[in-house]
Structure 1
């Protein structure tokens, strides 16, 4: 009843959404995340390209698994910071960001081509993602790299970010991303991980937030206010201990609400 009321009261009902997850973030003998479980529920994957995580074998295997599952494949370029898992900001200038991004896209693209698959989108990882969200120069560098590789690539970026604006300026498809397992600040940005309450702890709460974002175009912030969002794709983090249970609950709940799960066109 609660979910049905949420949908009836929604001002901007959508009947389709993409579910994406970060993928292939191990390297060497180390594995991270719950890739196999998440593939059952997502429609798009963002594969690490060797900087913050990933290596040639991990990338090849991730591409082949995603292609076999029918998931849309995206490159997940990050900062060169394995120790910090790409979540620490670095003083990289736009030229470096352009070069590093193009390098990583090209590396993953080789494995995608060898697998007979298609590289469909780019989503920056971690600190690079957030830097691109608020810096016009960094956002422009990432989008120019994507366009240089393939102007048909889609750009996944946080709702309302400068990265999406840069994509539109360069004529690339901008895909607005929201998060089911993270809370939001009053300005529409994600609550920093170091703050209390940054993570949503229960699959029921994550589903409720996902449904509100898709059916109402809104999210309740950490201080209780409501802000608008555009939910083209929902990110499901794969590195949490309950990642697969969250993904299953969100997948089932969205489908039960009559929402089609499909990759962006």
Structure 2
């Protein structure tokens, strides 16, 4: 594998441009069979967001849940995205699996195709793809896999947005290959000084006001405080809060209220990142 370290882009000034419009996304449908995750608040969360990343069966989700999530998204006018992960139900897709780029790509296409058919069945379109957990982090540093993924998306459906961090190889490859890309800010995750999130398998209870203030500060000042205790510049098009974070609905509501109260509109992805 061709892996490289990525350093965030430098800016002469932090917070030069205040965000006026923002996508708000969450990972949805991450239960399995009779087991639910996210405190059973899927529909309530769906009513608050503008884009949904729907689990596609490998790390979580199943056909019945996928169908239900697509139905909720259609009901609330939410953009539908495939959320493929490693074949790892036990580890919730947060354990790295040693596999070739071609194997991983086949798994992603398989999962994306499944959700696209559920969307087609209900008369709606797939809007985007967002890798899950450890697979997302693998792509962030693996140029070979990122190139293969984006090349495949361009051949299958070139209009599909791809979500990633700005501080990632995936973002650089997407820009170089001219593929529509969405940069994320993680409201419920910590950052390190490289501009990458601090990957964790479990997240504790977070304070809604703190999470909301952090997201608002990123939107208005273009900075985030790292675990090393310093501010770094960050740019993004979408804010993610995971539905499996304890108290996710309260976090999402508080964040949305903080943004809209300060003149930042939550909008469809096509309005935030025009193709």
Normalised by the size of structure 2, how large is the TM-score?
A: 0.88
Give structure 2 stretches of 5+ with no counterpart.
1-13, 271-275
Match of 2:127 in 1: 120
CA–CA separation in structure 1 for the residues paired with 2:80 and 2:244: 19
Match of 1:217 in 2: 222
Contact conserved, 2:24 with 2:238, CA < 8 A, in 1? yes
Q: How far off is 1:91 after superposition?
A: 0.7
Contact conserved, 1:99 with 1:145, CA < 8 A, in 2? no
Match of 2:165 in 1: 158
Normalised by the size of structure 1, how large is the TM-score?
A: 0.92
Residue 48 of structure 1, aligned match among 43, 55, 76: 55
Contact conserved, 1:23 with 1:45, CA < 8 A, in 2? yes
Map of 1:56-67 to 2, 5 A cutoff?
Answer: 56-67=63-74
SS at match of 1:78: coil
Contact conserved, 2:167 with 2:194, CA < 8 A, in 1? no
Map of 1:20-35 to 2, 5 A cutoff?
Answer: 20-33=25-38, 34-35=41-42
Contact conserved, 2:129 with 2:160, CA < 8 A, in 1? yes
Contact conserved, 1:176 with 1:231, CA < 8 A, in 2? yes
Q: Does 1:179 align with 2:157?
A: no
Map of 1:185-204 to 2, 5 A cutoff?
Answer: 185-193=192-200, 201-204=206-209
Q: Does 1:84 align with 2:63?
A: no
Q: Does 1:233 align with 2:253?
A: no
Compared CA separation, residues 199 and 32, structure 1 to 2 (3 A): closer
Q: How far off is 1:149 after superposition?
A: 2.2
SS at match of 2:249: helix
Give structure 1 stretches of 5+ with no counterpart.
1-8
Compared CA separation, residues 199 and 162, structure 1 to 2 (3 A): farther
Match of 1:69 in 2: 76
Q: How far off is 1:74 after superposition?
A: 0.5
Alignment: residue pair count: 255
Contact conserved, 1:72 with 1:263, CA < 8 A, in 2? yes
Contact conserved, 2:205 with 2:246, CA < 8 A, in 1? no
Q: How far off is 1:231 after superposition?
A: 1.9
Q: Does 1:249 align with 2:254?
A: yes
Contact conserved, 2:188 with 2:245, CA < 8 A, in 1? no
Q: How far off is 1:40 after superposition?
A: 2.2
Cα displacement string for residues 37-79 of structure 1 (whole angstroms, at most 9, x for unaligned residues): 2112110000111111111111111111111110000000101
Runs of at least 4 residues off by over 4 Å: none
Map of 1:131-142 to 2, 5 A cutoff?
Answer: 131-142=138-149
Q: How far off is 1:179 after superposition?
A: 0.7
SS at match of 2:69: helix
Q: How far off is 1:194 after superposition?
A: 6.6
Compared CA separation, residues 242 and 41, structure 1 to 2 (3 A): same
Q: RMSD of aligned C-alpha atoms? A: 1.7
Match of 1:144 in 2: 151
CA–CA separation in structure 1 for the residues paired with 2:207 and 2:125: 35
